[in-house]
Amino acid sequence: MSTQAQILSNHANAQKSSGPASAFFLLHDIEDEFQFEELKAALIAEYNPQTETERILVRRLWESEWLRRRAITFRRMCFRPNDYYLYEEKRFALFLRYQTTHERAFYKALNELQKLRNEKRKKNKPVAPPKEAANGTATREMAA
């Protein structure tokens, strides 16, 4: 769990590196900008993107998660508050589809980020020198 100082630091760093994305992304009447920025900062801190491609994939992570949360909020609005009667069935189904779409997008971006990093790790992994037998000769693998 992040400390308050880490959250504030991450928030400040996210503001510097990602621009004013929240100004156009949030529905200010129902969404909390601080929560959005906190999510964004937490994902940036967790994945620490080093390249433009990684930054794009991490941005997709926070956008997809935020839109998934938004779909859940809208889905809840399809119920009457006093008796939880579902009075907006078509809209409920639409928001459920939106939620599923954004969950898939999140995991797709996460898988792409992990794949990219694994490929980079393999590419940068040093090649180990061949093992030698105790008498100083190469092992059977090297002799073949």
Q: Residues 12-18: what's their mean pLDDT? A: 53
Least confident of 6-15, 34-43, 77-86: 6-15
pLDDT-based confidence at 128, cuts 50/70/90? confident
User: Does a structural domain hold residue 42?
Assistant: yes
Q: Which residue spans within 78-144 are E strands per DSSP?
A: none
Checking if the pLDDT of 15 tops 60, the result is: no
Q: Residues 89-110: what's their mean pLDDT? A: 97
User: Does a structural domain hold residue 45?
Assistant: yes
- The pLDDT, as a whole number, for residue 144 is 47
Q: Where are the alpha helices (DSSP H) in 48-88?
A: 52-76
pTM: predicted TM-score of the whole model, two decimal places: 0.70
Contacts 24+ apart (CB under 8 A), 4-8: 6/45, 7/38, 7/41, 7/42
**Do 112 and 57 contact (CB within 8 A), yes or no?**
yes
User: Does a structural domain hold residue 130?
Assistant: no
User: Does a structural domain hold residue 18?
Assistant: yes
**Do 102 and 65 contact (CB within 8 A), yes or no?**
yes
Look at the chain and report how many structural domains it folds into.
Answer: 1
Residue 20 to residues 17, 31, 61, 86, 127: CA-CA distances in angstroms?
Answer: 10, 16, 17, 37, 44
**Do 37 and 11 contact (CB within 8 A), yes or no?**
yes
User: Does a structural domain hold residue 26?
Assistant: yes
**Do 74 and 67 contact (CB within 8 A), yes or no?**
no
Least confident of 10-14, 88-92, 106-110: 10-14
Q: Residues 7-32: what's their mean pLDDT? A: 65
pLDDT digits (tens, 9 = 90+) for 50-72: 999 999 999 999 999 999 999 99
**Under 8 Å CB-to-CB from 75, ≥6 apart: which residues?**
92, 95, 96, 99
Task: State which residues form the domain around 49.
Answer: 4-120
Checking if the pLDDT of 99 tops 50, the result is: yes
Checking if the pLDDT of 113 tops 90, the result is: yes
User: Does a structural domain hold residue 23?
Assistant: yes
pLDDT digits (tens, 9 = 90+) for 68-79: 999 999 999 999
